[in-house]
């Protein structure tokens, strides 16, 4: 005798005004429960950080020596992979409360505190910038450079800058 065949259970459900779910609905409930268990198991097994950052400290600049294509970083600097942004974000408020302008000398970083001063070097050009936004939200990239930064490094467009290695160091506040 199964639980659904138990007359005591059936009578209690009928007294409460409930009816037994159909086999199809019961299968749906079981499928939803199984999917929930699967999601919980996957979330428990997968670390929050992407694999490229999982074994790295959760704050500060994470060096990427491959970004320098075999060229050693200058003393005090580390190679990181950076991308340029602007376009549709111009005129909008950043995560740190600044308005992104075409001349903004800010960078987006996931962990560094807002206002952290940085020195950024591409080729022979070095300039100062501050952390003023959060991002990038693409694995493998450490910084997003605002228009004032990538223009200051000698690039005319987001497409020209693309994704490239730059050297970065935290610097003293001005």
* Contact by Cβ (8 Å): 131, 118: yes
pTM of this prediction?
A: 0.64
Q: How far apart are CA 120 and CA 71, in angstroms?
A: 16
Q: For 34-91, what is each residue's pLDDT tens digit?
A: 665 555 554 544 443 344 444 444 457 788 878 888 888 889 999 999 999 999 999 9
**CATH assignment, 55-170:** 2.40.40.10
Q: For 83-140, what is each residue's pLDDT tens digit?
A: 999 999 999 999 999 999 999 999 999 999 999 999 999 999 999 999 999 999 999 9
* Contact by Cβ (8 Å): 4, 10: yes
């Amino acid at each position: 005798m199964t639980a659904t065949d138990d007359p005591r259970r059936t009578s209690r459900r009928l007294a409460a005004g409930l009816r037994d779910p159909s086999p199809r609905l019961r299968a749906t409930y079981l499928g939803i429960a199984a999917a929930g268990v699967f999601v919980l198991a996957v979330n428990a097994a997968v670390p929050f950080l992407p694999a490229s950052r999982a074994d790295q400290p959760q704050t500060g600049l994470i060096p990427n020596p491959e970004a320098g294509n075999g060229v050693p970083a200058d003393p005090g600097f580390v190679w990181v992979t950076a991308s340029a942004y602007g376009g549709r974000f111009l005129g909008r408020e950043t995560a740190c409360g600044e308005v992104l302008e075409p001349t903004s000398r800010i960078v987006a970083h996931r962990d560094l505190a807002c206002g952290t001063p940085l020195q950024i070097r591409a080729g022979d050009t070095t300039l100062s910038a501050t952390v003023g936004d959060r991002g990038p939200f693409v694995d493998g990239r450490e910084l997003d450079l605002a228009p004032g930064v990538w223009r200051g490094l000698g690039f005319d467009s987001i497409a020209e800058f693309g994704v490239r290695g730059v050297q970065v160091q935290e610097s003293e506040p001005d």
